[in-house]
């Protein structure tokens, strides 16, 4: 049986991974491994994204036209697919961010966590 911390790592709201990937790509081109590492680092190791979740998400985002991928060479001299945000992806991120802020604000109000959360 996994711990509560392990359970938390697996439980993201639907669409959250896509939103996190889009947000990270605002900074510029990144390959999949770098995206996974940044999610882990910026979440203080609470969120870990496995390849089996990340690469289907990248494919889905690319099929939707929200990111574009191209092959290149990584810093360690390996062939990697680098992704960048499209203008459509920027618009989608803005909409998803607003929706996520509203949902987390609503949950926070119900739970009584009112300070520090956007309303």
Fold category of 4-110 in CATH:
Arc Repressor Mutant, subunit A (1.10.10)
pTM (two decimals)? 0.81
Please tell me the predicted confidence (pLDDT) of residue 15: 82
Q: Where are the domains of the chain?
A: 4-110
Q: Which residues on neighbouring strands pair with residue 82, listed in sequence order?
A: 31, 70
Distance CA(61)–CA(45), nearest Å, equals: 24
- Strands (DSSP E) contained in the chain are 30-31, 67-73, 79-85
113 falls in which pLDDT band (50, 70, 90)?
Answer: confident
118 falls in which pLDDT band (50, 70, 90)?
Answer: low
Q: Which residue has the higher pLDDT, 69 or 74?
A: 69
**What's the mean per-residue pLDDT of the chain?**
87
């Amino acid at each position: 049986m996994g711990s509560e911390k392990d359970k938390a790592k697996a439980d993201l709201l639907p669409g959250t991974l896509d939103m996190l990937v889009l947000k990270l790509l605002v900074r510029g081109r990144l390959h999949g491994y770098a995206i996974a590492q940044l999610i882990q680092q910026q979440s203080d190791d609470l969120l870990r994204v496995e390849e089996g979740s990340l690469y289907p998400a990248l494919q889905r985002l690319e099929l939707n036209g929200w990111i574009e991928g191209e092959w290149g060479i990584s810093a360690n001299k390996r062939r990697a697919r680098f992704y960048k945000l499209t203008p459509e992806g920027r618009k989608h991120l803005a909409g998803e961010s607003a929706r996520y802020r509203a949902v987390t604000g609503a949950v926070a109000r119900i739970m009584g966590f009112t300070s520090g959360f956007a309303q």
